[in-house]
Structure 1
Amino acid sequence: MNIQHFTFALDHARSSDWEHFEELCSRFLASEFPTLRTMANPTGDGGRDSELFYSSEEGLTVAFQYSLAKAWKAKISKTLKKIKDKFPHVRVLIYLSNKKIGANSDQIRKTCLDEGVSLDIRDLSWFSERMNIDDNKYKAAETFYQIIAEPLLKEQKVIEKNRPSLTTLESKAALTYLAMQWEDERTDKGLTKVVYEALTLSALRNTNSDSRMSRSNIHDVILG
């Protein structure tokens, strides 16, 4: 599995995959926060996606939320209100999302700071950049990919369990193509030029300084 597989899984996770996303988040946070506890039970309208967690090491000043919500700004705003109403001691909200958020969070960060809460967003990029840091994260990412992405890719026939092997001729063609592509990159020549040079050298393989070949004869050999 590579980073592209993992980001595909994150991008295609649905709200019904919340339990798997929770497990992924917990394992990615384990090295920083080994003991996470539930801070609030899900409300009737929020579901499990509304749960907040805390680390016993950090105390109740740091809250964690895992969310697959597409409308992440609205989700954070709702969570901020919940924190101010029910958990006024919280000073840091770490929001983990499968969406790519990045600099789009600047305004909501400012809103949170105005309310006395520092917002730490860990989005799709945060997960993908840390996938290979240690075995625990890699295995968590691989499990998430196998559960979320593999069924989708198999359904679309992107993954085939029993892929037929290449014939000898197909293997030779593939190796020739790869060799030409490598030569193209190594010499910074166009692939077409590399092919013409190879055909010309092939036509001249039996010539020497005493036995030359005219240009027209070279053309005839290349064109068959």
Structure 2
Amino acid sequence: MTTLPACCTSLRQHWPLPRPLPGAVLVSCAFDPTSITPDDFARAGIVPSAGLLRSVAKRQAEYVAGRVCARAALQQLDGRDYVPTTHQDRSPIWPAGIRGSITHGKGWAAAVVAAQSSCRGLGLDQEALLDDERAERLMGEILTPMELERLDHRQLGLAVTLTFSLKESLFKTLYPLTGQRFYFEHAELLEWSAEGLATLRLLTDLSAQWRKGDQLQGQFCLQDGHLLSLVSA
């Protein structure tokens, strides 16, 4: 029998994003890296890699919290007891027929899962909201020339953080489907609304199914100075 690790708070199943995704389950928890104990992996029923055991407490707590959320989401989805292990590229290994994504930030982790019959891909990302000064320094690395032209400087921190996060979610959605890495310049945020909805467009071919010009829908919400985004295919 597994129990919640000492570094994690109670799990919460909820949907903080503005538009429900039929068939998807999202579970989150808060975590405190300073509270992780040597037996938290065993307590949670998670087998860590040797590399993870050598990593810092923050990395260990992020991993434990994310995997605990993922297992709870899968249990809620179809009753299975499964903890995603990790590919060599550090992406999660989901069961056959399952699409999912894990994210963790400063003291908060979440996982979202859905059956492959409900969606082709899922990407979830959380980012701390950039202040305007840092956003101005980073925007040239994150935004395409067209995105820079459309940028609303009255909401600079939010706009740059949102573009970064949605592109991260887009990558998490499409990389498992295409096996192709792509970067900030290979996609653009076409539009987003105050209601938390967004549209992205690919600027490069990734596979026969995912081509330049294809558009995907995203959504986002703000919570406690952090931005959570999700892209689904």
Fold shared, TM-score > 0.5 on shorter chain: no
Structure in which a larger fraction of residues adopt helix: 1
Give the TM-score category using the shorter length.
Answer: under 0.3
Scaled by the length of structure 2, the TM-score of the pair is 0.25
Higher strand share: 2
